[in-house]
Amino acid sequence: MAEDRWVRGDGVRLHVREWPARGAALPPDLLLLHGLASSSHIWDLTAPRLARRGFRTLAYDQRGHGNSGKPSSGYGFDRVTADAAAVIRATGLRRPVVVGHSWGANVALALGARRPNAVGGTVLVDGGFLGLRDRFDWRTAKEVLAPPDLRGTPVHVFLGFVRDELAGTVEITPDVEAVFLSLMRVDRHGNIHPRLSRANHLRILRALWQQDTPGLLARIRVPTLVLAVRSRPGAWDSAGLAEEKRRAASAVRAIGEYLNPGTAAATASAFAGSMRVTSTFCPTAAISRAMPLICSAVLPSPKMTSGTPWRRAR
């Protein structure tokens, strides 16, 4: 069961949740960052597994999301990375490995690049390696990537959409439904309202578009694992991001090692756990150099629940 607390971020109150390690906590600590229009509950099925492996594991609702404060400004990477640094300080995390999903991966990347002394490494789950400016001008990005207007949608319609979208890939259990419902406020009529406002969503999208993601990835000086997720065959991709992922994956592989992973949780856990026995993070032999290695991997689509153990790609 997660323990709740509140932390003062960079001018905003942040809702933080911790899953204590089973037994004596061993380094490194883990900080989990959710994606755009998501919440810390996206980690509800992953964090307990990491805690059982002996990691002190925390997640928090980023500004504008979940139960955290929702200011009308401050969504650039300077402010959201300051929030993350405030959580690390206030909770006493010891140079954590920061695991980010989607936009959260971009936040983790910026944090690792700007504050390398605060983090031990980063894991970028399906984010943090795409440069939007290379593909869109801002006007097009805003049109193509703007969120759908879900305000006032009945709960049962929303959950039906979730079931249809994930049919055949993820079993929709009550726990999974709870994760999706955490993203919404439900009014007394049983209709949903996204916790992240449309205006703040677009502010974050603008910051994402402005970020020089490939440049940061090339310059980052903490060990970094990139996990790119393949879309399932036939998946809707109006923005053409699947092709952009393939292009970006080639660029990432040019920076560091390419690994075939197991599950997402096991891969991230192995990456973090390797520092318990060595001064480096990536479980490969060729990392005795002072410059950290960027490892890349492509996960199976889309469940990330089966696979093979770590191995070097041939």
Is the pLDDT reported for residue 39 higher than 80? yes
Q: Is residue 191 part of a domain?
A: no
Task: Look at residue 313 in the predicted model and tell me its pLDDT.
Answer: 28
Task: Look at residue 254 in the predicted model and tell me its pLDDT.
Answer: 61
Quote the mean pLDDT of the chain. Answer: 81
Q: Is residue 207 part of a domain?
A: yes
Partners of 258 in beta bridges: 296
Q: Is residue 220 part of a domain?
A: yes
Which structural domain range is residue 31 located in? Answer: 3-148+200-312
Is the pLDDT reported for residue 309 higher than 50? no
Is the pLDDT reported for residue 112 higher than 70? yes
Task: Look at residue 169 in the predicted model and tell me its pLDDT.
Answer: 78
Q: What are the angstrom distances between the C-alpha of 163 and each of 169, 180, 305?
A: 10, 11, 18
Higher confidence at residue 153 or residue 279? 153
Confidence of residue 230 (pLDDT cuts 50, 70, 90): low
Q: What is the pLDDT of residues 254-266, one digit of tens each?
A: 665 544 444 555 6
Confidence of residue 211 (pLDDT cuts 50, 70, 90): very high
Q: Is residue 187 part of a domain?
A: no
Contact 175, 45 (CB under 8 A): yes
CATH number at residue 122: 3.40.50.1820
Is the pLDDT reported for residue 151 higher than 90? yes
Q: Is residue 154 part of a domain?
A: no
Q: Is residue 160 part of a domain?
A: no
Q: Read off the amino acid at residue 164.
A: D
Task: Report the number of distinct structural domains present in the chain.
Answer: 1
Contact 280, 291 (CB under 8 A): no
Q: Is residue 177 part of a domain?
A: no
